[in-house]
Amino acid sequence: MGVPLFDTSTPLAGLREELRAALNSVMESGRFILGPEVSAFESEFAAYCGVEHAIGVANGTEAITIALRAMGVGPGDEVVVPSFTFYASAEAIPPTGATPVFCDVDPHTYCVTADTVRAALTPRTKAVIAVHLFGNIAPVSEIEALGVPVLEDAAQSAGSLADEGLRPGALGTAATFSFFPSKNLGCFGDGGMITTRDERIAERVRTLRFHGSHDKVTYEMLGYNSRLDELQAALLRVQLPHLDTWADGRRRAGSHYEEAGLGELLTLPRPTDGAAPAWHLYVVSHPQVERLEQTLAGAGIGHKAYYRTPVHQQVPMRQWAPQGELPGTEHAARTHLAIPMSPVLTREQADEVVAAVCSALG
């Protein structure tokens, strides 16, 4: 039969009418930028995360640049970031004037740890970007205990739960989200969000996303034209009430794989302490991953190695590559593979994936 790597359309099937009505309503309203839909979605998303402020921006990459600047990061500063992540986590740092300093990850959780961050700290460290990779939750409070502010890159972790039921977005000094269409909460184009409890940071974010201005007449700082638009906000408002159901579906899909015995064939992703990840990508690892890739391709089973080349080895980042090795990063880069994951992945589909894995590695 084959199993797709992800399925973004089935979860939305029952919402088509509501989505069309939301689109029509914005079209009729004539308000397209920073209107009532964005304000309402910001309030609803802030309440969902359990924070005071949520500010919509154009995408998850600019969200990181803007959040870092609002946290006071600038020229001469260093920002610690994992090398095993999507490129944008690091790409967003140099536009602030600061320098990325790459740290390692735990190859079982794919997240940074307090130890890997500690090894990268210097007197110039101004912030740490803790990426909640694949939906797992990086240990934010342990990192903050090192005495550095944390920006959560929560692009892949909407719907996940941390210790004590806290949500990503409420764990660090500030957090950033992406609503890229394939994300756990995706829009119909690009979109992003910054959350924070800190009123001063929120105010700076609002100014920075609006050309560094309050009124587009006088300008206080060099800013950006970076807004979530009304159409996307209206579509996201329809979806947000369903995010927890979809997150449960992702957790259930992970359980299907476990119950089907996948963990006996290869290494499964390990939730960090206290985390209940809404797996954005379900990323397994095996030393003979090429053999696995070939067999899955032959069986029509979606798979992808997202980060075979760590970020610090990408051409524009080599100037900031660390002197020492990043063994966890290199291991994860060499052996990881994303296999099918979605809120609607069934036990039968998990069985089909496991049977194909078994024929490759069993």
Ligand X SMILES: Cc1ncc(COP(=O)(O)O)c(C=O)c1O
Report in angstroms the alpha-carbon separations of 347 from 160, 252, 359.
21, 9, 18
Q: In this complex, which beta carbon is closest to ligand X, that of residue 180 or of residue 246?
A: 180
What DSSP state is assigned to residue 349? H
Of 4-12, 150-158, 224-232, 288-296, the window that binds ligand X (rule: CB under 6 A) is: 150-158
Q: Which stretch binds ligand X (CB under 6 A): 54-62, 251-259, 297-305, 317-325?
A: 54-62
Angle at 297 between CA 293 and CA 301, to 5 degrees: 100
Nearest CA among 264, 239, 272, 26 for reference residue 141: 272
Rounded-to-integer distance, Cα 309 and Cα 84, Å: 8
Structure tokens belonging to residue 29: 């309203």
Question: Which tokens go with 14?
Answer: 């029952």
Of the pair 85, 116, the CB lying nearest ligand X is at: 85
Establish if 349 lies at the interface with ligand X (CB under 6 A): no
In three-state secondary structure terms, 125 is strand
Distance CA 301, CA 279 (A): 18
Determine the interface stretch with ligand X among 42-50, 59-67, 167-175, 287-295 (rule: CB under 6 A).
59-67
Q: Cite the beta strand spans of the chain per DSSP E.
A: 53-57, 78-82, 99-103, 125-131, 150-153, 174-178, 192-196, 282-285, 336-339
In the complex, what is the shortest distance from the CB of residue 216 to ligand X, in angstroms, rounded to a whole number?
24
**Cα separation, 160 vs 336, whole angstroms:** 21
Among positions 155, 162, 243, 296, the unique one binding ligand X when judged by CB under 6 A: 155
Q: Report the residue from 86, 110, 210, 320 that binds ligand X according to the rule CB under 6 A.
A: 86
83 binds ligand X (CB under 6 A): no
Nearer to ligand X, 37 or 153 (CB): 153
Q: Which of 107, 172, 192, 310 binds ligand X (CB under 6 A)?
A: 192
Verify binding: residue 178, ligand X, rule CB under 6 A.
yes
Work out which of 7, 153, 229, 352 binds ligand X, going by CB under 6 A: 153
Contacts of residue 355, defined as CB under 8 A and 6 or more positions apart, other chains included, come to none
Using alpha carbons only, give the angle 87, 91, 97 rounded to the nearest 5 degrees.
Answer: 160
Q: How far apart are CA 127 and CA 149, in angstroms?
A: 5
Beta carbon nearer to ligand X, 192 or 249? 192
Please, which residue, 110 or 349, has the CB nearer to ligand X?
110
Judged by CB under 6 A, does residue 184 bind ligand X?
no
Report the nearest approach of ligand X to the CB of residue 132 (Å). Answer: 8
User: Does 59 contact ligand X by CB under 6 A?
Assistant: yes
Closer CB to ligand X, 194 or 350, in the complex: 194
Residues 5, 93: Cα–Cα separation, whole Å: 30
Question: How many residues bind ligand X, per CB under 6 A?
Answer: 15
Asked if 302 touches ligand X (CB under 6 A), the answer is: no
Convert residues 110-149 into a mask of x (bound to ligand X by CB under 6 A) and - (unbound): ---------------------x------------------
Residue number with the shortest CB distance to ligand X?
60
Contact 331, 308 (CB under 8 A): no
160 binds ligand X (CB under 6 A): no
Query: Which one, 48 or 179, has the nearer CB to ligand X?
Result: 179
Query: Minimum distance between the CB of residue 344 and ligand X, rounded to whole angstroms?
Result: 21
Terminal C-alpha separation, the chain:
21
Q: How many residues does the structure list for the chain?
A: 362
Q: Does 80 bind ligand X (CB under 6 A)?
A: no
**Residues 176, 155: Cα–Cα separation, whole Å:** 6
Q: Which residues bind ligand X (CB under 6 A)?
A: 59-61, 85-86, 88-89, 131, 153, 155-156, 178, 180, 190, 192
